[in-house]
Amino acid sequence: MKASLLTDKFIRAIDYARIAHAAHVRKGSNTPYIYHPLSVTCLIIEFGGNEDQAIAGVLHDVVEDCGGMHEHLIKAQFGSAVANIVMGCSDSTAEQKVRPDDARAMENEWLARKRSYLEHLRQAAAEVILVSACDKLHNARTIVQDLENPAMGLTVFKRFKGGTEGTLQYYQALSEIFDAADTAPALQIRITVTRMRELTRNLEAASKAADSQAT
């Protein structure tokens, strides 16, 4: 009988993430946050990732959203390889995230953090790149889905500290990095980011036309 790709360690990782993210929901929704890491790990498996990468996909936001102490707990329970991938996919720990009082300072902090992460990704190992790419692919697809929803549209960008242009630029930069790395999800990311930009451009044009007619 052929051995299963995934062991009970993978199941334990799902439970770890479920508990860590128990109080979290996806931005702009009441969807339990665990939906995102589960979706990411499914993409990792789809694109040929191994068990360590699949486990890291389940856990990829735990340190960033729940605290730096999880790095050591993840290493102890799931091994150094998993912990290294998780840290490689994190642009900060929960404690390091600055929460400025005004919108401009918040945007500047976000921009500095994302620039640093982009530079990090350009040098990252292939196993980190795959997990990060699957994370960003799922997020990008969610944005596209919201842009296509008449009830949401351009307001989706209000969720992000970078606003419309900052968010678009960030995903374009990510797409270019994943293309250069020739990681398996790169084509789907490029298609999704192109769709994101087209939808945004069309919705902005329609909004301007409606404003012009109203005046």
18 and 82 share one domain: yes
| Residue 119 belongs to a domain | yes
36 and 14 share one domain: yes
Last residue of a domain, one of 97, 128, 153: 97
> Is the model's pLDDT at 145 over the cut of 80?
yes
- Mean pLDDT for 195-210 is 95
104 and 200 share one domain: yes
- Mean pLDDT for 178-201 is 98
Nearest Cα neighbor of 120 from 185, 181, 37 is 181
* Residue written as token pair 């329970």: 77
Q: Which domain holds residue 166?
A: 99-210
| Residue 215 belongs to a domain | no
103 and 198 share one domain: yes
Q: What is the pTM of this model?
A: 0.92
120 and 84 share one domain: no
- Number of domain units in the chain: 2
Last residue of a domain, one of 97, 125, 141: 97
Query: Which CATH number is 72's domain given?
Result: 1.10.3210.10
CA distance 64 to 68: 7
29 and 122 share one domain: no
203 and 107 share one domain: yes
92 and 134 share one domain: no
Q: pLDDT tens-digit profile of 102-128?
A: 677 777 888 888 999 999 999 999 999
48 and 111 share one domain: no
CA distance 174 to 162: 15
| Residue 130 belongs to a domain | yes
Q: pLDDT tens-digit profile of 14-73?
A: 999 999 999 999 887 889 999 999 999 999 999 999 999 999 999 999 999 999 999 999
- Mean pLDDT for 132-150 is 97
The amino acid that residue 85 corresponds to is I
12 and 93 share one domain: yes
> Is the model's pLDDT at 95 over the cut of 70?
no
Task: List the single range of 4-8, 72-76, 104-108 with lowest mean pLDDT.
Answer: 104-108
- Give the per-residue SS3 of the chain: CCCCCCCHHHHHHHHHHHHHCCCCECCCCCCECCHHHHHHHHHHHHCCCCHHHHHHHHHCCHHHHHCCCHHHHHHHHHCHHHHHHHHHCCCCCCCCCCCCCCHHHHHHHHHHHHHHHHHHHHCCCHHHHHHHHHHHHHHHHHHHHHHHCCCCHHHHHHHCCCHHHHHHHHHHHHHHHHHHHCCCCHHHHHHHHHHHHHHHHHHHHHHHHHHHHHC
Last residue of a domain, one of 33, 68, 97: 97
- Mean pLDDT for 160-165 is 92
136 and 86 share one domain: no
162 and 65 share one domain: no
Q: Are 131 and 53 in contact (CB under 8 A)?
A: yes
The token duo for 126 is 């292939």
